[in-house]
Amino acid sequence: MLEKAIKGSKTYWLWVLALLAVIAVGFMFYMRQLDFGLGITGMSRDVSWGFYIDQFTFLVGVAAGGVMVAIPHYLHDYKAFGKITVLAEFLAVSAVMMCMFFIVVDLGQPMRLLNVLLHPTPHSMLFWDMIVLSGYLFLNIVIGWNVLDAERNSVPPPQWVKPLIYLSIPWAISIHTVTAFLYCGLPGRTAWLTAILAPKFLAGAFAAGPAFLILLCLVVRKFTNFKIGQAQIQALAKIVCYAAITDLFFFLCEVFVAIYSQIPEHLEHLEYLFFGLHGHGALVPFMWLSILLIVSGILLLLIPSARENESVLAVACVAVFMGIWLDKGLGMIAGGFIPNPLNEITEYVPTMPEVMITIGIYASGLLILTILYKVVIGVKEELAGT
């Protein structure tokens, strides 16, 4: 099936070339980082995780979000989603690949990465994260590929794929749960030390993942002969809407606990993010923008006439996606380090090389996604006889 990815229009090849160019630029900056060290990023002794781990956390969510297509289809027999499950699975593949790239570029000694396997350490959450992420990648490649291959040959998928599909559903939940456990089990970081972190991560994931999938469906429909129907897109839109509301609700629960209890350690972090602390407020505009985006996205998705207008829907999806990206990425990870354990403030702003490496990884993810989607679309077009 892979041969479908090497036969494409001029636009397709231009797009692939453009992505390769961006990847090359990102790679050049990564070479600089390897040479100099992580000092070329905006991270510091106090904010020791930054943009890379932000993206990692957010993209684990995008990967897990695919389960919102799998559950209705495979567990509740919602047939309309059958058409797009493979799109969700391949989106997960590309997102998990990006997660892995982000982990690698965040390491100070990437060539020692395999020490994690050489000295397996079950009491470290990172060890489990490695297991669930690589497992999820494997599951989605195997499931997606076999289901698509079966569809192409007009036969039902092989029997052994079924248990893998059922396994992939709790597995999707697990990847984001373990990712939340990376943070919420650390005693000194009050901003993360909350049992609601994993649920909140999942809620954000179930909004951001399907929101991105809607955008992808709209793009695919516009540029190819694979016509994804109204039914799928509207069903996804409702999922995005309620997941985003749940995410917002969890956030407000956090706000209540901090404000009503008045415990300084809980308050200070939120205060820093939304109002600034002791004259430091680099993230304040981004956090308010995040709230504004999520709320307006929800409103647009709630109103049926707005949701059913696909231009408005696209805007709403971008708003939700970006809003959650700001909240979960920038605010949650970098913000979680401020103030530091000694109640001092060191702010964090990503640097140019850091941003370029990040963009490079996003381009590599998009390239993987493009190739996989090209295969899917090729198969679908072949079946439609166009």
Q: Which one of 2, 13, 18, 121 is in contact with other proteins (CB under 8 A)?
A: 121
Q: What is the sign, positive or negative, of the torsion defined by CA atoms of 137, 246, 218, 59?
A: negative
Taking phi over 0 as left and psi of -120 to 50 as alpha, with beta for the rest, 276 belongs to left
Asked if 261 interacts with other proteins (CB under 8 A), we say no
Identify which of 220, 236, 229, 251 has the alpha carbon closest to the alpha carbon of residue 317.
236
Determine the size of the site formed for other proteins (CB under 8 A): 44
Asked if 4 interacts with other proteins (CB under 8 A), we say no
Q: Which one of 16, 19, 23, 49 is in contact with other proteins (CB under 8 A)?
A: 49
Distance in Å, CB of 81 to other proteins, minimum: 37
Q: Which one of 102, 183, 212, 321 is in contact with other proteins (CB under 8 A)?
A: 183
Distance in Å, CB of 127 to other proteins, minimum: 5
Q: Which structure tokens are listed for 313? A: 């829907």
Spatial separation of the C-alpha atoms in residues 293 and 1, rounded to whole Å:
40
* Part in contact with other proteins (CB under 8 A); list of ranges 5-13, 63-71, 182-190, 359-367: 182-190
Q: Tokens 């996205």: give the residue.
A: 297
Cis peptide before 122 (omega within 30 of 0): no
Q: Tokens 């040959």: give the residue.
A: 153
Q: Which one of 346, 351, 355, 359 is in contact with other proteins (CB under 8 A)?
A: 346
Asked if 113 interacts with other proteins (CB under 8 A), we say yes
Asked if 385 interacts with other proteins (CB under 8 A), we say no
DSSP 3-state percent helix, strand, coil across the chain (nearest 5): 75, 0, 20
Asked if 100 interacts with other proteins (CB under 8 A), we say no
Phi, psi (deg, nearest 5) at residue 155: -125, 160
Q: Which residues bind other proteins (CB under 8 A)?
A: 36-39, 43-46, 48-49, 103, 106-110, 112-113, 115-116, 118-119, 121, 123-127, 130, 182-183, 186-189, 264-265, 337, 340-344, 346
